């Protein structure tokens, strides 16, 4: 009953936000880099930091993690409305990651670990944000990660929190997982969710001592890293908006359904996550296995991207 009330609350908050967004003209107009063709409400992902606050009031989440998610959510929402300079955004991310480290007691780790984790965490947050380019992809991928973390025994005490965030994803997905979306997550949604998932990734790795759980983010990671490398080779500014990810080529240039592509990305990641959980349970999740799987996934990705690029050339 509690979770039914929560999802009804989240849907009601979304509907209220839509009224506010329409009144305040918080919209996303399509441009040459967009994957949508109609004006759409921006910032529907505000439900994610709101869900974090609700979880805090219910005693499901600590204040440092709540403060971290809400901080990046507020700054990102302001940026969604009126673009901010890079400095305040970077400072917000830096403080938020510091709060995550504080919550995870990482300041007691060897000092050399912290800069590496900082770079990886900020890189993950921005990669997750950049991958938010077509309807459904962010929320379905987030749901896959939340579901996977929920299956791990080490997160048994965090189940109410993970379920609460999952319900917020479902509420948002009702309006986003459509061929013509009612709303987009915006930076407020993608960045706050990325930070939340990043927290659980670090917690999982340090608690289990198993680096192999990084594979939970492998589909997004490979597409993001390979796209960055491709853009660097083309001497493009990797910080500028673009639509060069494989999923964007498939949706925009090849004309495939955005929703189907989003489901494929989520389903592929779920299959990988199930394999990772199984291999760890059997004691086979070695460094060699992780490296071999990453190489295999990268090769498959490059092969598909090459085929798509050829078809794109033939279409011109």
For residues 151 and 159, give the distance between their C-alpha atoms in angstroms, rounded to a whole number. Answer: 9
For residues 149 and 312, give the distance between their C-alpha atoms in angstroms, rounded to a whole number. Answer: 38
Q: What is the DSSP letter of 31?
A: -
Let me know: does 294 contact 223? Beta carbons within 8 Å. no
For residues 253 and 238, give the distance between their C-alpha atoms in angstroms, rounded to a whole number. Answer: 20
Least confident of 88-92, 129-133, 281-285: 129-133
pLDDT digits (tens, 9 = 90+) for 203-241: 999 999 999 999 999 999 999 999 988 888 887 877 777
pLDDT digits (tens, 9 = 90+) for 96-106: 999 999 999 99
The domain segmentation of the chain, as residue ranges, is: 2-315
pLDDT interval class at 36 (50, 70, 90): very low
H-only helix segments in the chain:
2-23, 47-57, 63-81, 86-103, 113-130, 137-150, 159-176, 186-208, 218-233, 246-248, 258-282, 287-315
When pLDDT is averaged across residues 129-150 and rounded to a whole number, the result is 92
């Amino acid at each position: 009953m509690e979770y039914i009330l929560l999802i009804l609350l989240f849907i009601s908050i979304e509907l209220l936000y839509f009224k506010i967004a329409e009144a305040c003209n918080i919209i996303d107009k399509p441009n040459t880099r967009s994957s949508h063709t109609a004006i759409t409400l921006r910032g529907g992902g505000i439900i994610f930091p709101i869900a974090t606050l609700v979880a805090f009031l219910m005693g499901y989440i600590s204040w440092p993690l709540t403060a971290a998610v809400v901080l990046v959510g507020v700054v990102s929402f302001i940026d969604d409305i009126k673009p901010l300079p890079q400095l305040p955004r970077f400072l917000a991310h830096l403080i938020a990651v510091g709060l995550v480290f504080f919550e995870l007691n990482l300041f007691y780790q060897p000092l050399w670990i912290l800069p590496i984790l900082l770079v990886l965490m900020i890189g993950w947050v921005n990669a997750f944000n950049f991958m938010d380019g077509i309807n459904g992809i962010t929320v379905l991928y987030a749901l896959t990660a939340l579901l996977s973390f929920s299956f791990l025994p080490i997160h048994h005490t965090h189940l109410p929190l993970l379920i609460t965030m999952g319900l917020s994803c479902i509420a948002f997905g009702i309006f986003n997982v459509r061929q013509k979306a009612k709303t987009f997550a915006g930076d407020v949604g993608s960045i706050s969710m990325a930070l939340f998932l990043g927290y659980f990734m670090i917690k999982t790795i340090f608690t289990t001592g198993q680096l192999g759980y990084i594979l939970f983010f492998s589909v997004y990671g490979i597409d993001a890293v390979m796209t960055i490398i491709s853009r660097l080779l083309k001497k493009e500014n990797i910080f500028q908006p673009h639509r060069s990810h494989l999923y964007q080529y498939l949706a925009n240039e090849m004309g495939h359904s955005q929703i189907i592509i989003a489901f494929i990305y989520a389903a592929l990641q779920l299959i990988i996550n199930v394999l990772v959980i199984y291999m760890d349970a059997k004691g086979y999740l070695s460094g060699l296995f992780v490296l071999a799987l990453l190489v295999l996934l990268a090769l498959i990705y490059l092969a598909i991207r090459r085929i798509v690029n050829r078809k794109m050339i033939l279409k011109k």
